Amino acid sequence: MLNQDAYALGAAPSAIREVFEYGRRQAKLLGEDKVFDFSLGNPSIPAPDAVNEAIHTILKTESSIRVHGYTSGAGSDELRTAVAENLRRRFGTPARPEQIFITCGAAPALTSVLEAVSAPGSEVIAIAPFFPEYRPFTNFSGSHFVPVMADRESFQPDTDALAKAINAHTQAVIINSPNNPSGAVFREDVLKDIAALLRERAREYGHPIYIISDEPYRELVYDGQKVPFLPNLYEDTVVCYSWSKSLSLPGERIGYVYVPGAATDSRELFLAVAGSARMHGHVCAPSLIQRAVAQCIDSLPDLSAYDENRKLLYEGLTESGYSCVRPDGAFYLFVRTPGEDNDRFSRRAMEKNLLVVPSEPFGVSGFFRLGYCVAKETIERALPVFRELIR
């Protein structure tokens, strides 16, 4: 008599979290230094000092009632204004505070937007490899989830494959760049091709096809790479953002949805996002963290540690005979599984307390994901284990 979909999802936790929980148990048993946990996207560099300083100051100078009280459902005026101003200044997009909906992180931003664009029979496309939660999030919203494989060498979206998958039921395409799990930053020319394709099909079918741009890794790029800002390339874009990675605050649950004024039915869509969030139990994002983020919106953590890890791990692995695309963004390496099936490889790795995530949940087989948001020593100690495994 229980909800069987909910039970199934609760009983089969995400593959990533499962590996992570296993790692925590092993670390308790054997000691932290005996476990090489590359499973999670948990930032390994501290939040900028400005964040904790802001929290101390807010608590000392403002009343408890104001600091810990409800904000409006869409967020505090202060933070919505700060986000709009930040987007205007950095990307030249004409963002206004009333187009910003502050959420408890990127996950509820996505579930709210997916729910908002769901209509009877609707379909939502994601470029594979993709963040595994896209699938249950989409299915639960009532839309059918349609993965479209990226190019297996570059991990850039394959516009021809996309063209074949789009039909009159397509309500949205999820774009995630910098990409989890591949680390690829989608090229501007590829995104422009996609925009042209979606415009053409929207005209043909007589309804918009939204791009849902999931951007938790927007600021995490290396070697001077630039991440194209999608609303500037395609008018029907909705942005889902999180400060989890860009301010190293994943546990604090803070992010936003930006519905640009240029998007079709912009105001209606914004209200549908607000209504969806409310359906899911959203009241407001955590208030103290809203205030702190408003004051630190231009801060960034020191990304040099990730960059160093990226080079160390990429070079160590390729020298040992592993093959993977050099990632331009995020903090993941997506490595081709050498010569055997994924399950067997990750089981063998697990036996050596080396925790990786096999690629199947990302919608692709034959790869495994490494999160290099770890201590440098973890990589140094893990490289010999990787070498052993490929022998």
Binding to its own copies in span 269-298, by CB under 8 A: 269-276, 278-290
Distance CA 282, CA 275 (A): 9
Site string for its own copies, 304-343 (x = CB under 8 A): ----------------------------------------
User: Is 54 an interacting residue with respect to its own copies (CB under 8 A)?
Assistant: no
Comparing C-alpha atoms, which of 174, 147, 228, 234 is closest to residue 198?
234
User: Is 252 an interacting residue with respect to its own copies (CB under 8 A)?
Assistant: yes
User: Is 61 an interacting residue with respect to its own copies (CB under 8 A)?
Assistant: no
How many whole angstroms from its chain centre is CA 156?
A: 16
Q: First CA to last CA across the chain, in angstroms?
A: 51
Instruction: Count the residues of the shown chain that bind its own copies, applying the rule CB under 8 A.
Output: 88
Closest distance to its own copies from the beta carbon of 140 (Å): 4
Q: Which residue has the tokens 């939040």?
A: 47
Candidate segments 265-273, 317-325, 337-345, 352-360, binder of its own copies by CB under 8 A: 265-273
Nearer to its own copies, 9 or 165 (CB): 9
User: Is 80 an interacting residue with respect to its own copies (CB under 8 A)?
Assistant: no
User: Is 116 an interacting residue with respect to its own copies (CB under 8 A)?
Assistant: yes
Helix (H, G, I), strand (E, B) or coil at 386: helix
Candidate segments 49-57, 153-161, 305-313, 343-351, binder of its own copies by CB under 8 A: 49-57
**337, 344, 365, 371 from 387: Cα distances, Å:** 13, 16, 22, 18
Residue 152 falls in which region: left (phi positive, over 0), alpha (psi -120 to 50) or beta: alpha
Nearer to its own copies, 133 or 188 (CB): 133
User: Is 31 an interacting residue with respect to its own copies (CB under 8 A)?
Assistant: no
Q: Which residue of 157, 231, 250, 260 would you call a contact of its own copies, by CB under 8 A?
A: 250
Q: Which residue of 33, 88, 225, 251 would you call a contact of its own copies, by CB under 8 A?
A: 251
Whether the link from the prior residue into 94 is cis, omega within 30° of 0, is: no
Q: What angle do CA 39, 41, 42 make, to 5 degrees?
A: 105
